[in-house]
Chain A
């Protein structure tokens, strides 16, 4: 077993897998059960102001018979009194000294109120505080959650109040419902936050009942926007994570969240710079037991790659994030079909024919169709290889010899230098020179 321990802004845990602040981390019973099964840490379900939930509060997005590709909720923060929560947090931490117990907080935007709640939280003996600036529904209308996360100035001001009194690490949890995620992250940094976590849920309406016209979830005939989570949000979360991770004005440890269901997902977050990862929907779907495969899978992967610590892995893919203008326009790939693997579903054909560059030919050969790529017309977009249901059947192969390369930025600079305007004709000449024909 490889050592999977991590240290996220001073918060230590034996593995990077934390429960996200959400229903699975609602009580001492649940958090202790999760620890028993191996979870490295928890972010306690957000505590704070008095709230009352509606009964029907979740909506699932199913896809092709697969349940919960996405999960939407209109749930509020913990609906149990703050005193009860604080007491249970203290008990839990005492029982599990080696696990990370982080407490998520959300109170009204008053300095004294924040000072008081932060002090009471620290008294539980917990390892850190997470500020919930992300909840997009119910709380934001009351000036909390996303209402703070969406305005960098508020984010900075309120974070400063916590930092003033906190003796333990403070994580700021960001909302994705903002056009530039770097602004609130920088605000948090400026206020002295110790780490960033992201993402919270995305504004969403999960669906409509076609028989009753009610929204999902339906509360006595009414519905509204909720927060979207689960596997479907992972690509959005990865992008926002990377934006914060590459921002030199931020450079804080990050706890990655959003659509993580297994160790593979978790690794992607870690490769883009996450120190710990948090999971909610996958636990809501299958229970705490999923952590067993997460730990084992990650450890086996580390072993097979020869890594001995997550420090060697963290952020490994970040240097590859770059701008479109720096991509090589002459790095040329085309699709090649392995006829021995082809099962003749013709999905590559119809995809290329109707949605790409019409360069796969269908020829009837004893009872089925043979699919063949007309290589000179293939633009290497890779759509066919994405639709092909057979692993390794269509591969994208590089056909240029690497001797020449040109990025868009270089090309523009060349034009500028020569004083020629960038026209379609001039561009076609450049392409032609490199054997590229676009019809």
Chain B
């Protein structure tokens, strides 16, 4: 990189990456829990993708039954600590809280869930679940992200031998590597990994399927397979200069930040982030908090079309991120290092097939922003070559694995899938739900097989 942002004092980093939403104290948790109306068939529960019985877990906090509270939560969602910290609660459970309609502040469901889960882990994960007797069937799970972990946890309680194959050295997938540190630290994700392991799930790390172990070997070895492989690389921008030193994919950058060796993460003095989704905002704010002097977000469409949540946009603005809307990158300039990004102004044309108005370039409006680093955050591609190596899968036009909506079974009856690889990139909570449901899909598939005598 041409101009690297000067390193900050260590306390400064810790301050910048400190919890955005500090935890509730025991007193404030009980006070907040007591505000909950204990709705019946509550809208918050319906809004939660995993359908946690929210009003029940909250009432348990108010009576001091914290272990019972954690149990209620975990019964629906094995990735509950991560979800408590990383879920967009204001568009999910908290957004559905009846207090909104009443014109009052909704219950702080995310923070209460965190309170119950923090207590559960602080108490050393007391055993609260019964395991079914072993049925001597085994399931291989590819990927230790939220979908894989949830699937493994559920299967192992159902009596299966569950083995997770993880390419990375440290498991947890995006929970470990993809969540901005001011929302959640790696150690929290690893607590959930440890909990799943404590149920008897084996996690084989640095085990890239297709490399360290062949796909057909795996299919032979196990009675069923669950794919929780998530997504792959950022797509190419397809502009010149993309290979210059100083250009990096957003996830690769965020992963570096998540090592929590703040001063070892190179960041330019001036940074351009391409794209305006939630990941772009994470990358931009993280670059800023690492010491970048100026960070720009460059987006082809306008504020209205941007896919980032409102609260993420607010956070970025608070961090001083500068937004260039209706602006597209034309070329990354520089000799060896990134020196600037040449952009073109856009206007909105006709809507595309998703109903979003298509950006159209305005000729002759080129301008260059001098930057030292370019972070590409224009989404992720599916792992097409890996998915292609698995026999008999069917993929949709976006490259996502097609599954049965109830059983999560793919076109290959022995193979099930969930999480980002079937939905193209949603929330952790969706993956957690898929993994759990898929475990039941697998269970009924394998139980029927036994009955059928195959």
Residues of chain A at the chain B interface (Cβ within 8 Å): 64-66, 343-347, 349-350, 362, 367-369, 389-390
> A-facing mask of B22-57, CB < 8 A → 1, else 0?
000000001101100111111100100000000000
Q: Whole-angstrom distance between the alpha carbons of A66 and B62 in the complex? A: 12
Residues of chain A within 8 A of B264, CB atoms compared: none
Determine if B378 is an interface residue (Cβ-Cβ < 8 Å).
no
Given A367-B46, A368-B43, A390-B102, check contact A345 B37 (CB 8 Å): yes
Task: Let me know if A345 and B34 touch, CB within 8 A.
Answer: no
- Is B31 within 8 A of A344, CB to CB? no
Name the A residues within 8 Å of B42 (CB-CB): 345-346
Q: Collect the chain A residues with CB atoms within 8 Å of residue B101's CB.
A: 343-344
**Whole-angstrom distance between the alpha carbons of A25 and B38 in the complex?**
41
Pairwise interchain contact A346-B62, C-beta atoms closer than 8 A: no
Size of chain B's interface in residues, with CB distance under 8 A?
A: 17
Q: Which of B30, B34, B39, B43 contacts A347 (CB 8 A)?
A: B39
The answer, yes or no, to whether B98 is at the interface (CB within 8 Å) is: yes
In the complex the two chains form, what is the Cα distance from A346 to B33 in whole Å?
18
Is there an interface contact between A343 and B41, defined as CB atoms closer than 8 Å?
no
Structural contact, A65 and B39, CB atoms closer than 8 A: no
User: Which of B33, B34, B40, B102 is close to A350, meaning CB atoms less than 8 Å apart?
Assistant: B40
Query: With a CB–CB cut-off of 8 A, which chain B residues contact A65?
Result: 30-31, 33-34, 62
B window 387-406: CB within 8 A of A: none
| Chain A residues, CB < 8 A from B39 | 344-347
Q: Say how far B63's CB is from chain A's closest CB, in angstroms.
A: 10
A71 to B37 Cα, complex, angstroms: 26
Taken together as a complex, chains A and B put the C-alpha atoms of A66 and B35 apart, in Å, by 11
Cα A346 to Cα B96 in complex, Å, equals 14
Additional A-B contacts beyond A65-B62, A345-B37, A345-B42 (12; CB < 8 A)? A65-B30, A65-B33, A344-B39, A345-B98, A346-B39, A346-B41, A346-B42, A347-B39, A349-B41, A362-B41, A367-B46, A368-B43
- Interface SS of chain B: helix
Q: Nearest CB to that of B41 among chain A residues?
A: A346
Q: How far is the CB of A367 from chain B (nearest CB, A)?
A: 7
What is the 8 Å Cβ interface bit string for chain B, positions 95-108, against chain A (1 contact, 0 not)?
00011011000000
CB distance from A42 to the nearest CB of B (A): 35
Which residue from chain B places its CB closest to the CB of A342 in the assembled complex? B101
Interface residues of A: mostly helix, strand, loop or mixed? loop
How near does chain B come to A339, taking the closest CB pair, in angstroms? 12
- Point out the residues of chain A lying under 8 angstroms from B98, CB to CB: 343-345, 389
CA distance A345 to B41 in the complex (A): 8
In Å, the complex CA distance between A362 and B39 comes to 14
Smallest CB separation, B351 vs chain A (Å): 25
Per the 8 Å Cβ criterion, residues 318-364 of B in contact with A are none
Which residues of A sit under 8 angstroms from B31, Cβ to Cβ? Answer: 65
Q: What are 8 residue pairs bridging A and B, where the CB atoms are less than 8 Å apart in the complex?
A: A64-B34, A65-B31, A344-B43, A344-B101, A345-B42, A346-B42, A347-B39, A347-B40
Residues of the B chain whose Cβ atoms lie less than 8 Å from the Cβ of A349: 40-41
Chain A residue with the shortest CB-CB distance to B33: A65
Knowing A65-B30, A344-B101, the reply to whether A389 touches B43 (Cβ < 8 A) is: no
Which of chain B's residues have a CB closer than 8 A to the CB of A344?
39, 43, 98, 101
Q: Report, nearest first, the 10 A-B pairs whose CB atoms are least far apart.
A: A65-B34, A350-B40, A343-B101, A345-B39, A343-B98, A346-B40, A64-B34, A345-B98, A343-B102, A65-B31
Q: What's the A-B contact tally at a CB cutoff of 8 Å?
A: 43
Would you give the shortest CB distance from A240 to chain B, in whole angstroms?
31
- Contact code string B1-37 (vs A, CB < 8 Å = 1, else 0): 0000000000000000000000000000011011001
A64 to chain B, nearest CB (A): 4
Give the distance in Å from the alpha carbon of A270 to the alpha carbon of B99 in the complex: 36
Contact present for B41 and A389 (CB under 8 Å)? no
| A66 contacts across to B, CB distance below 8 A | 34
What's the least CB distance linking A181 to chain B, in Å? 35
Q: Give the distance to chain B from A342, nearest Cβ to Cβ, in Å.
A: 8
Residues of A within 8 Å of B40, CB to CB, are 345-347, 349-350
Complex contacts, A64 vs chain B, CB 8 Å: 34, 62
Q: How far is the CB of A361 from chain B (nearest CB, A)?
A: 13
Q: Which residues of B contact A368 (CB under 8 A)?
A: 43, 46
A-side contacts of B99, CB under 8 Å: 343
Interchain CA distance A389-B102 in the complex, whole Å: 9
CA distance A260 to B30 in the complex (A): 27
Of all chain A residues, which has the CB nearest B32? A65
Contact B37 A389 (CB under 8 A): yes
Closest to A348 in B: B40
Residues of A within 8 A of B38 (CB): 347
Distance of A369 Cα from B96 Cα, bound (Å): 13
B residues near A390, Cβ cutoff 8 Å: 102
Least CB separation from A350: chain B residue: B40
Which B residues are in CB contact (< 8 Å) with A343?
A: 98-99, 101-102
Chain A residues with CB under 8 A of B62: 64-65
User: A389 to chain B: which residues have CB within 8 Å?
Assistant: 37, 98, 102
Chain A proximity mask over B76-102: 1 for CB below 8 Å, otherwise 0: 000000000000000000000011011
B-side contacts of A346, CB under 8 Å: 39-42
Alpha-carbon distance A68/B428, docked complex (angstroms): 43
Q: Which B-chain residue is minimally distant from A65 (CB atoms)?
A: B34
Tell me the bound Cα distance from A367 to B31 in angstroms: 29
Contact with A along B209-251 (1 / 0, CB 8 A): 0000000000000000000000000000000000000000000
Residues of A within 8 A of B30 (CB): 65
Q: Chain A's nearest CB lies how many Å from the CB of B65?
A: 12
In the bound complex, residues from chain B placing their C-beta under 8 Å from that of A362 are: 41
Complex CA distance for A367 and B30, rounded to whole angstroms: 29
Give the chain A neighbours of B102 by CB distance below 8 A. 343, 389-390
Residue of B nearest to A346 (CB): B40
> How far, in angstroms, from A403 to B13 measured CA to CA in the complex?
80
Closest Cβ of chain B to A365, distance in Å, is 12
Q: Which residues of B contact A367 (CB under 8 A)?
A: 43, 46
Q: Which residues in window 56-82 of B have CB below 8 A to A?
A: 62
- Contacts A64-B62, A343-B102; is A369 near B41 (CB within 8 Å)? yes
Q: How distant is B27 from chain A, measured CB to nearest CB, in Å?
A: 9
Cα distance A45–B247 when bound, in Å? 81
Distance of A337 from chain B, by nearest CB (Å)? 14
> What are the residues of chain A within 8 A of B33 when measuring CB–CB?
65
Give the CA-CA distance A369 to B102 in the complex, in Å.
16
Chain B, Cβ-Cβ closest to A390: B102
A64 to B62 Cα, complex, angstroms: 7
Nearest CB in chain B to that of A63: its residue = B34
How far does the alpha carbon of A368 sit from the alpha carbon of B95 in the complex, in Å?
Answer: 13
A338 to chain B, nearest CB (A): 13
With A and B bound together, what is the CA distance between A82 and B288 in angstroms?
74
With a cutoff of 8 Å between Cβ atoms, the chain A residues found around residue B34 in the complex are 64-66
Docked Cα-Cα span, A368 to B40, in Å, equals: 11
- Nearest residue (CB) in B for A391 is B102
CA distance A368 to B31 in the complex (A): 27
Closest chain A CB from B417 CB (angstroms): 28
Cα separation A369 to B41 with both chains bound (whole Å): 9
Give the complex CA separation of A253 and B338 in angstroms.
93
Instruction: Give min CB distance, B54 to chain A, whole Å.
Output: 12
| Bound CA–CA A368/B33 (angstroms) | 22
Residue of A nearest to B46 (CB): A367
User: What CA separation (Å) do A368 and B62 show in the bound complex?
Assistant: 26
B71, chain A: closest CB distance, angstroms:
20
A389 to B35 alpha-carbon distance, docked (Å)? 11
Question: Once bound together, how far apart are the Cα atoms of A349 and B38, in whole Å?
Answer: 13
- Binary per-residue interface labels of chain B (120-134) against chain A in the complex, 1 for a CB within 8 Å, 0 otherwise: 000000000000000
